[in-house]
Structure 1
Amino acid sequence: MDGTPAYRLPDDEGASRHGAHRALRHHEALPLLRFITCGSVDDGKSTLIGRLLHDSGSLALDQREALARDSARLGTQGGALDFALLVDGLEAEREQGITIDVAYRYFGTARRRFIVADCPGHEQYTRNMATGASGADLAVVLVDARKGVLPQTRRHSRIVRLLGLKRVVLAVNKMDLVGWSEARFRAIHDDYRALAQALGIEEVHAIPLSALHGDNLLVASEHSPWFTGQPLLPTLEALPALEPPAAAAFRLPVQWINRPHQDFRGVAGTVAAGRVAVGDTVQVLPAGTRATVARVIGPGRELAAAEAGQPVTLVFHEDLDVSRGDLVVAPGSAPVLARRLRADLVWLDEAPLVPGRRYLLRVGPKTVPAQVVAIEHQCDIHTGATHAAGALPLNAIGRVELELEERLPLARFEDERALGAFILIDRASHATAGAGTVVEAIAEGSGRAYAQAFSLGPAERAAAKGQQARCLWLTGLSGAGKSTLADALERHLAARGRHTMLLDGDNTRTGLSKDLGFAPGDRREHVRRLGEVARLMVEAGLIVIVSAISPYRADREAVRARFAPGEFIEVFVDASPETCAARDPKGLYARARAGELGHAIGIGTGYEPPLAPEVHVSTDATSVEASVAAVLAALGED
């Protein structure tokens, strides 16, 4: 080597480089639109995005070559380009021909930059669809022209609206398979427009198209001369992004504390709304302290001011205690500091949401422990009607009330997206369990009930009695022997000088639950009440024995969640249905056989046995004395 570079830059390289930089700056200055594609299975979402990328010239040479190779090997178009392969990147997606995870793609035109999220259509991947919708400006909802509006189309549209999107582009796809029928297009448009009106979706831009063949994607198709609207891409170029109003109050969620050395301390985050300038007075929540902005620092340079969407570091004249998750706001415009909230929620976990369960709630960068206080209702995705529910299963949408362990600045999602959107996180797995939007932030002192702390705690009350307070929850079929075992247990504990209380499911129905029947919802409420009374008695230092069928596993788990670890001991009193029917101490089985009981659940079919009880006793072959000994051993009283 003689020191001469192997590659010599052309003489005009400097000019070319400056030209490239100018082009890049021009591109970055273009407005950005984030949108999702969603709908039912096989509506053609991935094909639509792939065709947009291809026809808009957004693919590099190597991507086009890879598409051709993959189409020949894995494609479904008989050797022609299979545009869905540009988006379905997972091996399982390509093998099955379905979208599983959210696929994000970036592309641009001379008028706009785009980030598009291709969302799965299968119901089991609803959680992924909700993730994709959470940061979008609008939704492109695909409908197969042959099938029309399907249940998953309705589910996705409800989630889209729940997450604050009020604009939808209705892409009626596969019009070539219905002969480009104008009547069919109009019927689907009318059907979806009725749904949108019921949901509060304010704008619907309907476009007939064929994603596979590129009709009405970039330019008007000759196959639909009756359609006078704009094709898909020009429509997306023209629609404005969702920007906070210019007059919005200043909001900066604190992402981290920027402290590169001991002489510099800044508060870093992205301006969520409003404007901040050097010299402004701001307020830090929840502490409520005030400060004056000394510097506004953007990426690599000092700024006089910053607006919504800009990442900044603020430096204050005052030395304040500010932490990640705090909120910097303009004084006089502070949001509600709330420990309770009502919210619309889409449930994304396999385990159902039940009242009493505890989760972590995250709003922006702030995470706090939260508890489900109540489920107000569940929404029927087909009709939009609401009905009472004791639990929210996977993919259900409902309204809930939550209680937080500390105050948070919150706002209605309709008013402020940054302070009104949250996720619930499972405390054990750290998986996202639900996504919600705030309907009402309930300020302290608003007339709602809040827990009051007192100086004497449960541990001191139990210590005064010389025991460890526990809840023994006996569950099983009617006739399994719960009441017999509970009575014997209490006598053994009393003989040892323990302070106890026995709550029998039937006895408490004469007073505590006198207003309840035996329908599933009434049974759930009965168990909830028993659990609350038992918890209060455990806080009083007692050993509480509850004897109740409590047929639903989720309800028992909700009660368990109300106790501290180790306080709740589930005892499965097991006996075969034949043994229970033979004993039939209350005549319930005989009445059920005679058709006299309208809700016989929990007597035979419908009972959900515990999966992992602390104690499991079978009264078919085990004596009462042996069963008592097993429970006492679990209590540490053997």
Structure 2
Amino acid sequence: MEISNNQLLRFTTAGSVDDGKSTLIGRLLYDSKSIFEDQLESVSVTSAKKGYEGVDLALFTDGLKDEREQGITIDVAYRYFTTPKRKFIIADTPGHIQYTRNMVTGASTANAAVILIDARHGVIEQTKRHSFIASLLNIPHLIVCVNKMDLVEFSEDRFNEIVIQFEEFSSKLLVKDVHYIPISALLGDNVVNKSEHTSWYGGGTLLHTLETLHISSDINKIDARFAVQTVLRPQNDEFRDYRGYAGRVASGIYRTGDEVAVLPSGFTSKIKSINAGEQEVEEAYAPMSISITLEDDIDVSRGDMIVKKKNQPEAEQEFDVMLCWLNNDAAKPRTKYTVMHTSNEQRAMIKDVVYKIDINTYDRDTEDKILAMNDIARVTIRTTHRLMLDSYRDNRNTGSVILIDENTNETVAAGMIV
């Protein structure tokens, strides 16, 4: 399969504390010659101050000053690099259990997830948690990197043990495409260059795997969804009669003359014109930012959704989501929040915690109704007005919500509509 270097692959890295995520990304950037000279010079100086004989590869991803000073990664670090075959965006997420919530942010747009496992420790709770989140977020590819193989003498038996451990629980997940690679991020084995220490391994390096993964679009091309962000009413004589509805196409294709419905009112009309910037176009598709005018003068406002007349989402006030709780403070059922869905903002409450997921066993706990930080649960949400919903697996954009604390304005949870 021919790969164009215009293709963009977004991938996230995840693992437990000290599994070597930052070192792995540093090695990937360093060995693929994706480091600028000033970056290399800066990291070399910092490494020398810390007493390292060579370059501390982890510093290539630890971009914040306090991260470097403390020697830990405390947030999602995004990095960009290009090879002759493909462009990449990396989201390096923290391994500490209290930062599991960051993976939801880092992985929300990913095409692949790189899961690191320490060869000495094997599959642990964080491995299962991160893999479950990857499955929940509908990430199509998992790359399991068994790191620190140099500390187990590049043992084939140990590698196979970990593969079996991972497969025992991952068989319950929805991710079908899983790759296993034995690596040493510190020494560079099987990261960019093939290792001489793993002659028993017949697969490709991490970079080769990333370069050859099939990228399928996660944009729903069938269901046309356009959430109105603002109504355009120019105040000059030339455009006095112009009334446009601006926003971004979430999915599907819109064409001039299409019969559409405006939700939640249900009023119908036809598309009169479509503008992309100052240019009028005949059709628009995701993820274009456009303005639409309609043939009929009907009431449309921010948060409304323009859809095809014969293909409409569900309009619901009460619905279930798989929710990841992100906040330090616990949530209880019937607490009031603001829910944000596309450009629609409504007051809402968690009506019920249907069940919580035990990450170790994937058992469902129907008794515990308190959501603590990092908990993943199926909950029922009720809003003051109807929202236009698709399931997350059908449409990432219209199938996701966030909850905001009305008092602090903090984002407290992210949810995928079931």
TM-score, length-normalised on structure 2?
A: 0.92
Is 1:31 equivalent to 2:7 in the alignment?
yes
Distance change in 2, residues 1:90/1:133 (3 Å): same
Distance in 1 between the 2:272 and 2:214 partners?
34
Distance in 2 between the 1:300 and 1:239 partners?
37
Residue 630 (structure 1) aligns with: none
Q: Which structure 2 residues correspond to residues 60-209 of structure 1 after superposition, within 5 A?
A: 60-74=36-50, 78-209=52-183
Aligned-residue Cα RMSD (Å) equals 2.0
1:189 alignment partner, SS class? helix
| Aligned 8 A contact 2:338 2:405 in 1 | yes
Query: Sequence identity of aligned pairs in percent?
Result: 44
Residue type of the alignment partner of 1:363: H
| Aligned 8 A contact 1:38 1:129 in 2 | yes
Distance in 2 between the 1:256 and 1:189 partners?
51
Distance in 2 between the 1:282 and 1:157 partners?
40
| Aligned 8 A contact 2:219 2:286 in 1 | no
Residue 50 (structure 1) aligns with: 26
Unpaired runs of at least 5, structure 1: 1-25, 440-638
Residue 407 (structure 1) aligns with: 386
Q: Which structure 2 residues correspond to residues 188-337 of structure 1 after superposition, within 5 A?
A: 188-244=162-218, 247-259=221-233, 261-262=235-236, 263=239, 264-299=242-277, 301-337=279-315
Displacement of 1:260 after TM fit? 5.1
Distance change in 2, residues 1:253/1:52 (3 Å): farther
Distance in 2 between the 1:246 and 1:352 partners?
34
CA shift digits 1:175-231 (9 cap, x unpaired) = 111111111111111211222211222221111111122221223222212211221
Distance change in 2, residues 1:34/1:260 (3 Å): farther
CA shift digits 1:528-576 (9 cap, x unpaired) = xxxxxxxxxxxxxxxxxxxxxxxxxxxxxxxxxxxxxxxxxxxxxxxxx
Q: 1:356 aligns with which of 334, 340, 362?
A: 334
Distance change in 2, residues 1:149/1:369 (3 Å): same
Residue type of the alignment partner of 1:89: G
Is 1:416 equivalent to 2:395 in the alignment?
yes
Is 1:340 equivalent to 2:318 in the alignment?
yes
| Aligned 8 A contact 1:45 1:118 in 2 | yes
Distance change in 2, residues 1:85/1:430 (3 Å): same
Displacement of 1:85 after TM fit? 0.7
Unpaired runs of at least 5, structure 2: none
| Equivalent pairs, count | 410
Displacement of 1:274 after TM fit? 1.5
Residue type of the alignment partner of 1:56: S
Displacement of 1:401 after TM fit? 1.0
Pair member with larger Rg: 1
| Aligned 8 A contact 2:138 2:175 in 1 | no
2:371 alignment partner, SS class? coil
Displacement of 1:259 after TM fit? 4.7
| Aligned 8 A contact 1:376 1:389 in 2 | no
Residue type of the alignment partner of 2:188: G
Runs of 4+ in 1 over 6 A off after TM superposition: none
CA shift digits 1:426-475 (9 cap, x unpaired) = 11111111111111xxxxxxxxxxxxxxxxxxxxxxxxxxxxxxxxxxxx
TM-score, length-normalised on structure 1?
A: 0.61
Distance in 2 between the 1:303 and 1:316 partners?
14
2:40 alignment partner, SS class? helix
Displacement of 1:410 after TM fit? 0.9
Distance in 2 between the 1:66 and 1:325 partners?
47
Distance change in 2, residues 1:258/1:110 (3 Å): farther
Is 1:366 equivalent to 2:344 in the alignment?
yes
Q: Which has the higher helix share?
A: 1
2:251 alignment partner, SS class? coil
| Aligned 8 A contact 2:220 2:395 in 1 | no
| Aligned 8 A contact 1:217 1:231 in 2 | yes
* Larger RCO of the pair (alpha carbons < 8 Å, separation 6+): 2
Distance change in 2, residues 1:86/1:345 (3 Å): same
Q: 1:391 aligns with which of 346, 360, 370?
A: 370
Residue type of the alignment partner of 1:295: S
| Aligned 8 A contact 1:327 1:409 in 2 | yes
